[in-house]
A and B are shown apart, each in its own frame.
Chain A
């Protein structure tokens, strides 16, 4: 379980935008996202969440669909 970072995903936003799930998987440098079982969906890889480098690329790809929270603030 991640101790330092939480990644909130609004699945409805992601699933409504074609290609966004793939984009999230592509941009994350530490593989926090993986393609979900449903079409156009993503899942969070819990083991990798604490590796988050806070690069914001996921939030830039989907400002409304992804939020990265620092649990130590």
Chain B
């Protein structure tokens, strides 16, 4: 879940991380007033979530009049169907040196990692352009963060004396904040060393691990997050809202996340990351998914029934592919019952609407019998995920 930058900065401020002077405003007039207060050239950042707005959402202006004009333009941006959530007006100090820091998880070592560089930018991008400028240190997600790791990292940035002490404090503070709030990513894309020797953070991006949103409720409440605000990159569609409603109304299993696309292959997919793999596999074989809907966690027959009806009722969808990785706690027979029931309730024959049914695992023998009764071939784990996707794409075209 992406934070607006002003929210990320509120978190940082609360934990004593030094920031450049800034003010969140909601109107062009307020932007002018804020720019006057800050003085000198300022940066205006529209508070947006949708991707692809990085350049369009930021403007540098020389004076308050310029701030007002720029704010009027920025407030008109389309943030995935929403308006920007205000504008951050910030001072733009020039400093002796600029640094960047990134906190994330290293999928290979299964550990949190800090990466830093003595230049501004996203570490991901700098890794491509200036790999020799990046230093890294792993740390533990289980044990309290130790300052020596931060000090090692700061030392690798060729800092000494007071600079080393100040940077160590900042890196330690950010690492603790990263762990405490279950962040998935925390990027300080620009931190400047000011003339008087202290550091100040200019640009921040932060993402919360979405599964942590319940236990991080107090922090989210402090920041003013609504309970149903998942910070999606665009407003949810009617299809997605209905999927979320079906999921919320029955606690048995999950059909989340659900997303609508503009393709023609309805997907009822899931199991341990299988849904992502299956969606990719469909696309790899030239198919166009109509949706993404991960079903799992031992869903009820009714949940599978309602999801099937929702997907099959989507305009442009004539058939569905029911596919998953090998299931253990989810039962193949219950999914089969729900899917068949949903299709028949819509007045169709299951064999005419199911492109493929590949849900291997728990109770698959019963699933196979159910499908056989309705003239649908059951595919077990001898049919690979890629092959299942290929067959589905082939049949729909």
* Cβ–Cβ contact B366 & A70, under 8 A: yes
Tell me whether B340 is interfacial, beta carbon within 8 Å.
Answer: yes
**Which 10 pairs show the lowest CB-CB distances between chains A and B?**
A72-B373, A72-B370, A72-B369, A4-B337, A51-B301, A50-B301, A50-B337, A51-B300, A73-B369, A3-B341
B366 to chain A, nearest CB (A): 7
Residue among A3, A4, A50 having the largest count of chain B Cβ atoms under 10 Å? A4
* Cβ–Cβ contact B344 & A3, under 8 A: yes
Q: What residue of chain B has the Cβ atom nearest to residue A29's Cβ?
A: B252
For the complex, give the distance between the alpha carbons of A69 and B53 in Å: 59
For the complex, give the distance between the alpha carbons of A29 and B176 in Å: 44
Of residues 354 through 372 on chain B, the ones whose CB sits less than 8 Å from some CB of chain A are: 366, 369-370, 372
Taking Cβ atoms with an 8 Å cutoff, the residues of A that contact B are 3-4, 30, 50-51, 53-54, 70, 72-73
Residue among A53, A72, A73 having the largest count of chain B Cβ atoms under 10 Å? A72
Q: Which residues of B contact A30 (CB under 8 A)?
A: 300
B70 to chain A, nearest CB (A): 58
* Cβ–Cβ contact A3 & B340, under 8 A: yes
Tell me whether B48 is interfacial, beta carbon within 8 Å.
Answer: no
* Cβ–Cβ contact A51 & B302, under 8 A: yes
Of residues 280 through 309 on chain B, the ones whose CB sits less than 8 Å from some CB of chain A are: 300-302
CB 8 Å contact bits of B329-352 with A (1 = contact, 0 = none)? 001001001001100100000000
Q: Which residues of A contact B334 (CB under 8 A)?
A: 51, 53
A-B contact sample (5 more), CB < 8 A, given A3-B337, A4-B370, A50-B301:
A3-B340, A3-B341, A53-B331, A72-B370, A72-B373
B377 to chain A, nearest CB (A): 15
Q: What residue of chain A has the Cβ atom nearest to residue B298's Cβ?
A: A53
A8 to chain B, nearest CB (A): 19
Interface CB pairs A-B, < 8 A, 26: A3-B337, A3-B340, A3-B341, A3-B344, A4-B337, A4-B340, A4-B370, A30-B300, A50-B301, A50-B337, A50-B341, A51-B300, A51-B301, A51-B302, A51-B334, A53-B331, A53-B334, A54-B366, A70-B366, A70-B369, A72-B366, A72-B369, A72-B370, A72-B372, A72-B373, A73-B369
For the complex, give the distance between the alpha carbons of A54 and B369 in Å: 15
Q: Which residues of B contact A3 (CB under 8 A)?
A: 337, 340-341, 344
A70 to chain B, nearest CB (A): 7
For the complex, give the distance between the alpha carbons of A25 and B394 in Å: 48
For the complex, give the distance between the alpha carbons of A72 and B333 in Å: 11
For the complex, give the distance between the alpha carbons of A50 and B337 in Å: 8
For the complex, give the distance between the alpha carbons of A16 and B366 in Å: 34
A55 to chain B, nearest CB (A): 11
Q: Which residues of A contact B370 (CB under 8 A)?
A: 4, 72
For the complex, give the distance between the alpha carbons of A3 and B344 in Å: 10
B331 to chain A, nearest CB (A): 8
For the complex, give the distance between the alpha carbons of A50 and B340 in Å: 11
Q: What residue of chain B has the Cβ atom nearest to residue A4's Cβ?
A: B337
B353 to chain A, nearest CB (A): 16
A44 to chain B, nearest CB (A): 16
CB 8 Å contact bits of B316-340 with A (1 = contact, 0 = none)? 0000000000000001001001001
For the complex, give the distance between the alpha carbons of A70 and B372 in Å: 14
Q: Which residues of A contact B337 (CB under 8 A)?
A: 3-4, 50
For the complex, give the distance between the alpha carbons of A72 and B369 in Å: 6
CB 8 Å contact bits of B363-388 with A (1 = contact, 0 = none)? 00010011011000000000000000
For the complex, give the distance between the alpha carbons of A70 and B337 in Å: 12
Q: Which residues of B contact A70 (CB under 8 A)?
A: 366, 369
